[in-house]
Chains A and B, each alone.
Chain A
Amino acid sequence: MSTVVQPVPRSFGRTIGRRFRDWLPALVVFVLVLVAWQGLVEVFNIRQFLLPKPTAILGALRDNRSDLWSAGIVTFKEALGGFAMGSTAAILVALVLARWRRVGGAIMPYAIAANAVPIIAFAPITNNWFGLLNPMSKMVIAAVLCFFPVFVNTLRGLTSVQPASIELMRSYAAGEIETFRRVRIPNALPFIFTGLKVASVLAMIGAVVGEYFGGPLDALGVVIQNNVALFDFPLAWAGIIVASAFGIAFYAAVAVAEHFLTGWQPAADSRSD
Chain B
Amino acid sequence: MSAPHAAVSLAGVGKTFGKGAVRALEDIDLAIAPGEFVSLIGPSGCGKSTLLRIVGDLIQPSVGDVIVNGKPAHRARLDHDYGIVFQSAVLYDWRTVTKNISLPLELLGWSRGRRNERVREMVELVELSGFESHHPWQLSGGMQQRVSIARALSFDPALLLMDEPFGALDEMTRERLNMELLRIWERSGSTIVFVTHSIPEAVFLSTRVVVMSPRPGRIAGIVEIDLPQPRGAETREQPRFFELVTEVRERLAGSGAATAPTEPALVTEERV
From 11 to 35 in chain A, residues with beta carbon under 8 angstroms from any chain B beta carbon are none
CB distance B84 to A171 under 8 Å?
Answer: yes
| Chain A residues numbered 218-267 whose CB sits less than 8 Å from any CB in chain B | 262, 264-266
Q: Would you call the interface of chain A mostly helix, strand, loop, or mixed? A: loop
CB-defined contacts of A164 to chain B, threshold 8 Å = 86, 88, 90
Minimum Cβ distance to chain B for residue A148 (Å) = 26
A265 surroundings in chain B (CB, below 8 A)? 93
User: Residue among A178, A182, A273 with the most chain B CB within 10 A?
Assistant: A182
- Taking a contact as CB atoms under 8 Å apart, the answer to whether B58 and A172 are in contact is no
Query: Could you tell me if A173 and B94 are in contact, using CB atoms closer than 8 angstroms?
Result: no
Which of these binds chain A: B116-124, B133-141, B213-221?
A: B133-141
When C-beta atoms are compared, the residue in chain B nearest to A170 turns out to be: B58
| Closest residue on chain A to residue B141 by CB atoms | A273
| B22: min CB distance to chain A, Å | 18
Q: Is the CB of A266 within 8 A of B93?
A: yes
Q: Binary interface profile of B, 66-85, with partner A (CB < 8 Å = 1, else 0)?
A: 00000000000111101110
Measured CB to CB, the nearest residue on chain B to A175 is: B107
Per a CB cutoff under 8 Å, which of A5, A167, A178, A262 touches B138? A5
Contacts of A5 in B (CB 8 A): 138
Q: Min CB distance, A178 to chain B, in Å?
A: 6
Q: Is A66 an interface residue when CB atoms closer than 8 A count as contact?
A: no
Smallest distance from the beta carbon of B108 to chain A beta carbons, Å? 8
Instruction: Given A4-B131, A264-B135, answer yes or no on A171-B56 (Cβ-Cβ < 8 Å).
Output: yes
* CB neighbours of B135 from chain A (8 A): 264, 266
Contact B82 A171 (CB under 8 A): yes
Within 8 A of B (CB), among A113-172: 162, 164-165, 167-168, 170-172
Asked if B90 and A4 sit within 8 Å, CB to CB, the answer is no
B104 interface contact, C-beta 8 A: yes
In the bound complex, how far is the Cα of B140 from the Cα of A63, in angstroms? 59
- Contact call B143/A2, Cβ cutoff below 8 A: yes
Q: Is B17 an interface residue when CB atoms closer than 8 A count as contact?
A: no
| Interface membership of A51, Cβ < 8 A | no
Q: How large, as a class, is the contact surface on chain A?
A: 20 to 34
Question: Smallest CB–CB gap between B5 and chain A, Å?
Answer: 19
A186 to B, closest residue via Cβ: B94
B142 touches A172 (CB 8 A): no
Determine the distance from Cα of A273 to Cα of B137 in the docked complex, in whole angstroms.
Answer: 9
Query: Counting CB contacts under 8 A, is A272 at the interface?
Result: yes
- Asked if A10 lies at the interface with its beta carbon under 8 angstroms from chain B, I say no
Q: In angstroms, how far is the closest chain B Cβ from the Cβ of A185? A: 10
Q: Which residues of A contact B80 (CB under 8 A)?
A: 172-173
Indicate whether A58 reaches chain B with its CB closer than 8 angstroms: no
Which residues of B are found within 8 Å of A41, using beta-carbon distances?
A: none
Q: Which of B77, B88, B92, B139 contacts A173 (CB 8 A)?
A: B77
Q: Measured between alpha carbons, how far is A167 from B142 in the docked complex, in Å? A: 21
List chain B positions with a Cβ less than 8 A from chain A: 53, 56, 58, 77-80, 82-84, 86, 88, 90, 92-95, 103-104, 106-108, 131, 134-135, 137-143, 173, 176
Q: A1-B176, A173-B80, A266-B137 are in contact. List 4 more A-B contacts (CB 8 A).
A: A4-B143, A165-B90, A165-B92, A183-B92
Chain A residues within CB distance 8 Å of chain B: 1-5, 162, 164-165, 167-168, 170-174, 178, 182-183, 186-187, 189, 262, 264-266, 270-273
